[in-house]
Amino acid sequence: MTHDPVPLSESLDSVVRGLRGGGGDARSMGSLFSRWIDAVGEVVADHARPVKLDGDRLLVEVDEPGWATQLRFLEGDVIARLRSVAGLEVSRFDIRVKPR
């Protein structure tokens, strides 16, 4: 049984979906992680990080409950910035506090 070659981008997309629990292709995830600080600013990025992009839903992990509240307040602005600086179409956040 022979297998035809698969483009690297398809292979990476499959790996990224597996690592992130589904959702998001390699290009979208790369753009999200590389442009996160541009979208949220250094202060927020020090306390919040993207974890998973599932379609148009973004899972963000924060280090303190107060940052969950702050990110909820900033959600619309961050979504607009992600669209502007990274070309991502995110419609909403799911936020979780990182376990200690």
Q: Can you list the domains of the chain with their CATH numbers?
A: 8-97 (3.30.300)
Question: What's the one-letter identity of residue 67?
Answer: W
Q: What is the mean pLDDT of the chain?
A: 79
Buried b / exposed e along 45-74 (16+ C-beta atoms within 10 A): eebbbbbbbeeeebbbbbeeeebbebbeeb
pTM (predicted TM-score): 0.69
In this structure, are strands 48-54 and 57-62 parallel, antiparallel, or unpaired?
antiparallel
Q: Would you place residue 97 in the very low, low, confident or very high pLDDT band (cuts 50, 70, 90)?
A: very high
pLDDT digits (tens, 9 = 90+) for 42-83: 999 999 999 988 888 999 999 999 999 999 999 999 999 988
Contact yes or no for 53/32 (Cβ under 8 A)? yes
